[in-house]
Amino acid sequence: ALAFWSLEASLAVWFAVGSVVVLTCLNLIGVICGKTVQNVLSVIKVLGLILIVVAGMVWGGGQAMASTQPVAVGFGLAMVFVLYAYGGWNDAAYVAAEVRDHQRNIPLALILGISGITVIYLLVNAAYLWVLGFEGVRGSWTPAADVMQAVVGDWGSRAISLLIMLSALGAINGMIFTGARIYVSMGVDHRMFSWLGRWNSQRGTPIWSLLVQAAITLVLIVAVGTQLGRDIIDGTLRAVWLSPLPWDQYFGGFDTLVAGTAPVFWVFFLLTGVSLFVLRYREPGVARPFRVPGYPLTPIIFCLTSAYMLYSSLDYAKWLSALGWVPLAVGVPVYLISKSLGPSRDTGPREDRPLMGSGDGQ
């Protein structure tokens, strides 16, 4: 947005705030609105990426660009960021209870989604290499913009800025839509948070979960995206005799937050894979609506990959990973208190909640 409208860098945080507020409001209108916004943004994103591929392959001409000095990273760290391009496939599980014919459509969505992402990802990178050359791609922070600028001039770079804006909005909306369902499940399972499990029957959307999610997100954006927020964080760390965060070392507030929370992301992927074996061992006779292809080889490969990514992200973040571990540690006593209160008294189906509490998709 800053590049598209030639604005000052200090305004970036308010574009982030505005995106979360507007997209949350659209999801509050209803599930149909949120789903429609997601579909439109996803189509625009894919069409834009196809445009890059076509422009690079047809009109690029194999031009080479001079390389700037790249940042030296290991294979593991490179894969941490490469695999973010595929992130989001797991979010399908959060809405499984709201999907029609979920035993067929959830696996179909995962297979088609990952296949489509893989094809697009490889084609886009092939276009980058064809236009910029290996060294040009290696030294570029914005290869998509560089490709379009080399092919069609300055307006091509602006067009890419617009595409990236729409792509980011699609990602944000997807996480808003699916993420709120996590809080709903927590409200269904825990009496302390039962109010998060309520749905609006007319709109078919979890209003309280969306509002809480937005509030937490906005606090994080302002905390790491403004100088005042960073000063408060650093001041708090100094007050407990800790060093301030190395914001510049990790390329700014948002990237610092990504680096610090990446180990938590991978540890939960690893735990999810391990839980598959644990549940198969403890409850062998339970009916399972979804089959794991290639069991046990497939989940073993998944767990080993997640463990390697966990190691790589920890090696990169080092003590900064406390940004992710501290909230988890705070959550432990909250969980124990909630568990002592017993399960939610409102776990059955009711008129203001869709399929989250009923059916064999639970």
Could you report the per-residue pLDDT of 102-137, keeping only the tens digit for each? 788 888 888 888 898 899 889 988 988 888 888 888
Could you report the per-residue pLDDT of 240-289, keeping only the tens digit for each? 888 898 998 888 888 899 899 999 999 999 999 999 999 999 998 888 87
Distance of CA 299 to the CA centre of its chain: 22
Angle between helices 253-282 and 207-225 in degrees, nearest 10: 140
Residues 6 or more apart whose CB falls under 8 angstroms from that of 67 comprise 135, 136, 138, 139, 140
Q: What pLDDT, on the 0 to 100 scale, is given for residue 350?
A: 41
The stretch 47-57 carries a mean pLDDT of 83
Asked if residue 235 has pLDDT above 90, the reply is yes
How many residues are present in the chain?
362
Yes or no: say if 343 and 190 are a contact pair by the CB < 8 Å rule.
yes
Kindly calculate the radius of gyration of the chain based on its CA atoms and give it in whole angstroms: 22
Q: What pLDDT, on the 0 to 100 scale, is given for residue 6?
A: 85
How many Å apart are CA 350 and CA 225, to the nearest integer?
A: 41
Asked if residue 353 has pLDDT above 60, the reply is no
Q: What pLDDT, on the 0 to 100 scale, is given for residue 97?
A: 73
What residues form DSSP beta bridges with 200? 205
pLDDT band at 76 (very low <50, low <70, confident <90, very high): confident
Report the range out of 18-22, 63-67, 193-197 with the highest average pLDDT.
18-22
In the chain, how long is the greatest CA-to-CA distance?
67
Asked if residue 362 has pLDDT above 80, the reply is no
pLDDT band at 50 (very low <50, low <70, confident <90, very high): confident
Could you report the per-residue pLDDT of 145-175, keeping only the tens digit for each? 788 877 777 787 788 888 888 888 988 998 8
Could you report the per-residue pLDDT of 303-348, keeping only the tens digit for each? 999 999 999 999 999 888 888 898 889 989 998 998 888 777 654 4
Yes or no: say if 261 and 228 are a contact pair by the CB < 8 Å rule.
no
| HSE, side-chain direction, 13 A CA sphere, residue 95 | 25
| C-alpha dist (Å) from residue 295 to 90, 266, 299, 331 | 18, 21, 7, 33
Could you report the per-residue pLDDT of 281-306, keeping only the tens digit for each? 999 888 887 788 889 999 999 999 99
Q: What pLDDT, on the 0 to 100 scale, is given for residue 189?
A: 86
Q: What is the mean pLDDT of the chain?
A: 84
Q: What percent of the chain has pLDDT over 70?
A: 91
| C-alpha dist (Å) from residue 194 to 95, 179, 260, 313, 341 | 19, 17, 30, 34, 12
How many Å apart are CA 222 and CA 228, to the nearest integer?
A: 8
pLDDT band at 20 (very low <50, low <70, confident <90, very high): very high
Phi, psi of 200 (to 5 degrees): -90, 120
How many Å apart are CA 210 and CA 33, to the nearest integer?
A: 14
Is residue 6 helix, strand or coil?
Answer: coil
Classify the phi-psi angles of 226: left when phi > 0, otherwise alpha if psi is within -120 to 50, otherwise beta: beta
How many Å apart are CA 10 and CA 17, to the nearest integer?
A: 13
Q: Which amino acid, residue 186?
A: M
Q: What pLDDT, on the 0 to 100 scale, is given for residue 352?
A: 45
What are 49's two structure tokens?
């990426």
Q: For residue 191, what is the enclosing H or E element? A: none
Burial of 133 (0-12, 13-18, 19+ CB in 10 A): middle
Q: What pLDDT, on the 0 to 100 scale, is given for residue 187?
A: 87
Q: What pLDDT, on the 0 to 100 scale, is given for residue 361?
A: 35
Q: What pLDDT, on the 0 to 100 scale, is given for residue 345?
A: 61
How many Å apart are CA 221 and CA 127, to the nearest integer?
A: 33
Alpha helices in the chain, H assignment, sequence order? 2-5, 12-29, 31-59, 75-84, 102-138, 143-152, 154-189, 207-225, 227-239, 253-282, 297-317, 322-340
How many Å apart are CA 319 and CA 259, to the nearest integer?
A: 10
What are 78's two structure tokens?
């490179």
How many Å apart are CA 322 and CA 236, to the nearest integer?
A: 14
